[in-house]
Each structure stands twice: as structure tokens, then as C-alpha cells.
Amino acid sequence: MRNVVVTSLGLVTLAGFLVPPAWAGVHPPPPPPPHEVKRPVAEGYGGAVATVDLDASKAALTVLRRGGNAMDAAVAAAAALGVTEPYSAGLAGGGFIVYYDARKRKVTTIDGRETAPQAMTPTTLEGIPFAEAVTSGLSVGVPGSVAHWDTALRKYGTMPLREVLRPAVQIAEKGFVVDQTFHDQTLQNADRFADFPSTAALYLPGGQPPPVGSVFRNPDLARTYRELGVRGPSWLYGGALGREIVATVKKPPVRAGATRNVRPGLMEVSDLTAYRALERPPTKVTYKGLDVYGMAPPSSGGSTVGEALNILEALPKIGTHEYLEASRLAFADRNAYVGDPAHADVPLGALLSDGFAKERACLIGPRAMAHPAAPGSPDGSYSACSSPAPASVPEEKSEGPETTHLVVTDRWGDVAAYNITIEQTGGSGIVVPGRGILLNNELTDFTFGPAPGDPNLPAPGKRPRSSMAPTIVLKGGKPLLAVGSPGGATIITTVLQILLNRLDFGMSLPEAVAAPRASQRNTAATQAEPGFVERYGAELTALGHTLTDVPGPPAGEIGAATGLEFLRDGRVQAVAEPARRGGGSALVVSTRR
């Protein structure tokens, strides 16, 4: 069934006509699945998972209980999120996995970031209004998720792709209950969704967002997942599915009479054929005796979190003021130096060195430093305390507010921290006709220019800089914590703040995740949630900080994190957001040994 809308009478709207439903005879569709309550914290044994969504967490748990490992379960959860969180995740997107292999006692990472088509140049995006670039074929990067899943499963999983896709297929077929977040995100995108018939037919039944409490089904996506499991990744990377995606990118299916300027994209089938997911060494810093592993470039997550931790460890004391200042300095360096290492000379070792951190830490005094902070000189020659030379300061690039993060562990002690995304909430807004998948808008993560020397300007085959920061912390060579978050560039500050809350400020992991947040990204004002302003506003204002509201939607929220902590008695604690983005879901395989 392709792009149909079920009416309240059980009829189907297809090309403007009412026809009988396609399922058996005149019987109504299957009853909705039972409603279950998601819980943000769970403790137990044998494996655990935390995601933003109950159905996705259940998909991972199903795989764990069938004998799969953490990588199998992580891919299953990501595929399920492509159904239930389609505005943040999907097979036409990309992401990063940080993975602890318990047998090898080693941390590795897999880069499934989207790439620019070969036809893209440094000036392709120059002068285009940001909103126009987002809702276009021009913003669509070569999808990385399917290659990501395939590489992850072949190298570290135990199940074939078709097996781990089964829970997602079932959710797409049977449907899930629409919550307030899904409804609100659809409403937020309704104007642009309405300009694409393939998108409107799926997400705006009857011209309106699906109501809260209704059951949402995506039979096209179920069929796409099922066929992907049979045909394998080559179906996308050069095969028929890839040709359908390219056709949609190059000629977006715009509604007749729409006035939106929807630019065609540059992607070719050859771009898909050339795509590879890459295994990379993680970033690593040691913070107070703990080894903190993150994602290396093209993500700026591991380098910026790591640099900020190094700066903080070089200070005589750590508090909220110091957290904001360390983040400010790390973002100045991130913006100046981090990009795709295949296209830019990223001084990663220097950025994460103790000498550079100490030099940067010297700039942090009792009051907020002047805006903007200039980037340092990670050149290997560091003095005890010197001021940086004047330099042009790149603007902090605005990134989409969404993405999603999940964490999984298994009975063997393997751990996966996985960020998956299609960029903006709703991606490009374009659904591939008959496939039920939203295309990403990842190429808007590039700097639009003109910006000579910027490491994040677009280029053929280049991966845009990301802020995704899946993080695993080891103590004595064994996992202690795994954390991550959505939120565009605020991902970095959210992960950093959770780590400080847990490791320095005496909070439990659930408290650290729930605590009010602030995000300083080398901007004049620090974005802060209302609870943070209430608790710390007067103190920080007196020190020269300026706090401002977090823009929406949803207004006032930063991130929707997930995490794991490995407790002393062999238990694992899975933690998801209690409230942000509607709250998340934490599950364990068993509450008993």
C-alpha cells in the first residue's frame, strides 16, 4: 500500500478517491497495540537499554533476549526509532557508534556520517537562506545509516540485518500510539510537509497531524525494511532503492501550486555506490583517573568534550562558572579547527593534549571572559599561561535541535552508545514516494560561506562536521558510564554537564540526566533552561555571565539524554530523560541475577 490515508470510516483515500481498504475484505484494521507506561530508570542484570521511546527500547530488549549482543540490539533500536521517531532518525540518515568490545577490552567507533555528493563545491550553499536550504534536495547527504548498520553487524554483531530489522517491521505494520511529542513535531512541520504529497499522505492524514492517542502505521516503511533485509545494503548503495532516492533528491515531489522554492539536489547513484562507513579510533582523555572515550572527527563531540574535561582538570576548582568557561574555550577551538579529517588538517592530538589544556585553562578567571573567546594555538609549543593571539573567530554553526541517542549493554558486558540523526526535526521534509522514509538535510551542517579557511566548508565526498558525542567512560579498563544526547551543538555541553554532575557534583546518574542545563558555545549569552536560571542565575550574573532562554520548539529544553551506569554488584542502571521530549524509556533484561 503506497501513501494512503485511512479515514474514520475505514475507507482509504488514494489519489483523491475513496476506495475499500486493502486488507482482508471489509474487516477493519487491527486493533491498536496496548498502551504501556515508559519509565526513565531501570536496574537489573543480563543487559539493559535506554532510548527516548518505549517501542525502540522494547525492540532492543527483544534482540537481547533472543541472544543478540549490544551491537545487534543497538541496530534494532535505531531501526525502530526510524518508525517511531522518524523526524529524528531513519535509514536515510546517518550517525556515530562508540562501542566497547568486552572480549577484546577495547573501545572502537564506527562513522556512518552522511557525505556530500561529488558535484558539491565550497560555494554550493553560499547565499542560500538557511530555511530554503533545509527543505530541498540540495540539503540531502548521501545516507550512511544502512552501511553503518551493515558494518557494525558484520564486525561486532551476531545477527544478520534481516533479523534485527524484524522488530521495526512489526512496529511499522501494527502501529504505535501517537504521543504529544510526535503530534507537536508533526504540527511544527505541517506547512512544509503539506508541500510534498508523499509526505502529506503519510504524516498529515486528512490534512492534519495524527491526534494524540491514535495509532500511526507506516506500511510503506515496513515493506522497505523487509525488502532491505532480503536484498541487503547494495539495494540502496547502487540498487533500485538508491535510484528511487536519487530520483527524489534530484526532482523533489513538490505539490502543484506550491510557492516554496525547493531546490533540486546533486546526488547521483555513483555517490551511493562510493559510500563507506568507516571504523575509526576513538578520542581518549583521562579525567581524574577515568578513561573517557568519544567520537573523533568528523564529529566534534569527542574532541570538544575531551578538551573541556582537560581544561577543567587543570583548574584548582570546578563549579558551574568553570564549566561554562571551559566549554566556551573548547568551542572556540572546535569552530576553528575541527572538520572532516579527510579534507582538513585537524590537530586532534594537540587539541587533546595536557599542555594545550593548561595553556587554555590559564584564561579562566573569577569572572566571565570577554566575548568572543579566540581560539588557541594547538601547535605543540605551550607556555605556563599565555594569552592567545588575536584571531578571527568563526561563528558557532547553528545545527538542528534534534537527533536521538541510545545506549545498550548485553550480558557479556559489551556496550554501544549510538547517535543517529536525519538532522533537523523532520529532515528535509521530503518522503521518498512509496517508501515511507524521510530524507535527511545533513548538508546544512556545512558552513555556508564565504569563509576562507573554514574546516567545515562543503567539498565533494566530504562529511559535514557534527556535534554528536556518544561517550563511554572506563574505570580500570571496564565500563563505568555510557552517555549521549540529541540537541545539535548542545549535545556537547549536555554530555559534558552530565559527566560533571555525576563525577564532580555528587549526583547519581538519574539526577545528573534530569538536572537543569545550560549551554555555552562561545556565544555572547549562555542558553539556559528555566530551572538552571532559577538555581544559578543570580550567582552567574554577578560573575559577568549573560543567560538567555532556550529557543524552541520545544522551548526551554536542552537535549533528551540517555545513559548507563555499571554498579558495584554487577547490576546495570539504565537511565533516560524523565521529562524532556516527553520522557524516555529504560529497560533491563532481568531484575534478578
Tell me how far apart the terminal alpha carbons of the chain are, to the nearest angstrom.
45
- Cβ atoms < 10 Å from Cβ of 16: 5
Active site residue 403: yes
**Angle made by CA atoms 465, 468, 470, in degrees to the nearest 5:** 140
Sequence-ordered alpha helix ranges (H) in 232-319: 240-250, 269-274, 301-313
Q: How far apart are CA 50 and CA 513, in angstroms?
A: 12
Q: How far apart are CA 114 and CA 109, in angstroms?
A: 16
* pLDDT tens across the length of the chain (593 residues): 333 333 332 333 323 322 222 322 223 344 444 456 899 999 999 999 999 999 999 999 999 999 999 999 999 999 999 999 999 999 999 999 999 999 999 999 999 999 999 999 999 999 999 999 999 999 999 999 999 999 999 999 999 999 999 999 999 999 999 999 999 999 999 999 999 999 999 999 999 999 999 999 999 999 999 999 999 999 999 999 999 999 999 999 999 999 999 999 999 999 999 999 999 999 999 999 999 999 999 999 999 999 999 999 999 999 999 999 999 999 999 999 999 999 999 999 999 999 999 999 999 999 999 999 999 999 999 986 755 545 455 555 455 457 899 999 999 999 999 999 999 999 999 999 999 999 999 999 999 989 999 999 999 999 999 999 999 999 999 999 999 999 999 999 999 999 999 999 999 999 999 999 999 999 999 999 999 999 999 999 999 999 999 988 888 899 999 999 999 889 999 999 999 999 999 999 999 98
Partners of 562 in the beta sheet? Answer: 484, 576
Strands ordered across the beta sheet of 547-548:
518-519, 526-528, 547-548
If we measure between CA atoms, which residue out of 560, 480, 576 comes closest to residue 517? Answer: 560
Q: How far apart are CA 14 and CA 17, in angstroms?
A: 5
Q: How far apart are CA 332 and CA 329, in angstroms?
A: 5
Grid cell, residue 189, equals 512541520
If we measure between CA atoms, which residue out of 337, 364, 330, 328 comes closest to residue 527? Answer: 328
Cβ atoms of 420 and 510 within 8 Å: the answer is no
If we measure between CA atoms, which residue out of 155, 147, 59 comes closest to residue 95? Answer: 147
* pTM over cut 0.85: yes
Query: Of these residues, 181, 403, 409, 494, which one is catalytic?
Result: 403
3-state secondary structure 343-412: CCCCCHHHHCCHHHHHHHHCCCCCCCCCCCCCCCCCCCCCCCCCCCCCCCCCCCCCCCCCCEEEEEEECC
- Cβ atoms < 10 Å from Cβ of 49: 34
